[in-house]
Amino acid sequence: MARSDHRSGSQLPVTPTTLADVAERAGVSRQTVSNAVNNPDLLRPDTLERVRQTIAELGYSPNRAARNLRTRTSSLIGLRFTPAQEGTANATMDRFVHSLVEASDEAGYHVLLFPADDEDPVGGYDNLLRSTAVDAFVVTDTYLGNPQAAWLSQQRAPFVAFGRPWDDDVARHVWVDVDGAAGTRLATQHLIDRGHTRIAWIGWRKDSPIGEDRRAGWLSTMHANGLSTTGLASRVEDVVHSGAEAAAVLLDESEPTAFVCASDTLAMGVLHTLWIRQLAPGRDIAVVGFDDSQVAQVFPVGLTSVRQPLEDVAVEIVRTLRALLAHQPVEARGVLLEPSLVIRESS
């Protein structure tokens, strides 16, 4: 059910039916409604039938989850986990999960992982809420059009998102994120300070708000330094071979002396193309990635990369979750953390 906001034309969710609503409509006490749900044998058949009919009419769903979420009975935090994509160097979520487990443990919580299901993105959340298995959630899928955050808000379930609500300017849920644009500004300025003026960008498709945020950092820094970006940008899928192909085209058509990439995966593609052309990373062509993956750290030359402060992200998320569960005010709806640049031989 929803009511119209005539000023904006949008649909706003109606407050869910409560046990008190059922009791008032049926003309019984709250305890009687509770007994109808949990101990029906205690009620007379006619009373039980009247309460059940009212429950059906109002669409009431007994929210045992809300009770347990308030009292923190499980000490578990739910996290929907998606495996790393094949053909990429992206292990950011692995590092984040490890950091979240450590931060949660220090606060007296444990992390419960549950699998992702693209066909039913809220199904896992719904199952855990109904079974009262967790106290709260951490949501990492905040990309364009993803329904989890909005659904959890409607259920009044405590959660904190790792990532901004990119497509929802009026979202009221709490989030923690890393400033991707600040990271690529660091990367681009580092290359400019090293004397580069033809700095190419290889990023993700335009429908990725995270990718566009990172691209904005490269673009603004180039313009702030009076440098042209014409013909120096490419948008591709986040896989190694796409980065390699984009690098080959840019080298042939635009002759850059350096690359800033939206991920270490794309940077590895650039390095592959340089290897084929017998160009030395750092000496002939500079390369900077993003995420400071293990691949960046163990690559023979050493890949310069933007490092996200995932340990700080995890600590901030757990701190905020504790405040939400204790019904304490949260200082800020959104917290944006600064990344750092780890400089290695590739730049």
What pLDDT does 84 receive? 66
The amino acid at 320: T
Query: For residue 220, what is the DSSP state?
Result: H
Query: For residue 285, what is the DSSP state?
Result: B
State the architecture of 2-62 in CATH terms.
Answer: Orthogonal Bundle (1.10)
Listing DSSP states for 157-211 in one string gives --EEEES--TT-TT--SEEEEE-HHHHHHHHHHHHHHTT---EEEEE--TT-HHH
Between CA 317 and CA 70 the distance in angstroms is 18
Judge contact between 74 and 133, C-beta under 8 A.
Answer: yes
pLDDT in tens, 24-68: 999 999 888 888 876 777 889 999 999 999 988 888 876 554 554
Query: What's the token pair of residue 60?
Result: 């009431």
| E strand residue ranges, the chain | 2-5, 10-13, 76-81, 110-115, 136-139, 159-162, 174-178, 199-203, 233-235, 258-261, 286-290, 304-307, 334-337, 340-342
Between CA 275 and CA 122 the distance in angstroms is 44
Angle ∠(10,154,152) on CA atoms, nearest 5? 125
The CATH fold of domain 76-178+310-338: Rossmann fold (3.40.50)
What pLDDT does 86 receive? 63
What pLDDT does 271 receive? 97
DSSP helix/strand/coil, 218: helix
DSSP helix/strand/coil, 112: strand
Query: What's the token pair of residue 306?
Result: 């933007």
Judge contact between 93 and 58, C-beta under 8 A.
Answer: no
Q: Please give the order of strands across the beta sheet that includes 286-290.
A: 233-235, 199-203, 258-261, 286-290, 304-307, 340-342
Residues of the chain with pLDDT under 50: 1-13, 65, 68-72
pLDDT in tens, 1-24: 333 344 444 444 456 778 888 899
- The reported pTM is 0.75
Listing DSSP states for 57-97 in one string gives HHT----HHHHHHHHT-S-EEEEEE-PPPTT----HHHHHH
Strand partners, 137: 78, 159
Domain with CATH 1.10.260.40 in the chain: 2-62
What pLDDT does 169 receive? 73
What pLDDT does 39 receive? 73
Domain with CATH 3.40.50.2300 in the chain: 76-178+310-338, 180-307
What pLDDT does 129 receive? 85
Angle ∠(107,327,106) on CA atoms, nearest 5? 0
pLDDT in tens, 167-189: 777 778 899 999 999 999 999 99
Query: What's the token pair of residue 39?
Result: 């101990």
Please state which of the four CATH numbers 3.40.50.2300, 1.10.3720.10, 3.40.640.10, 3.30.420.40 is assigned to the domain occupying 180-307.
3.40.50.2300
What pLDDT does 87 receive? 59
DSSP helix/strand/coil, 334: strand
Query: What's the token pair of residue 239?
Result: 């896989």
Q: How many CB atoms lie within 10 A of CB 205?
A: 11
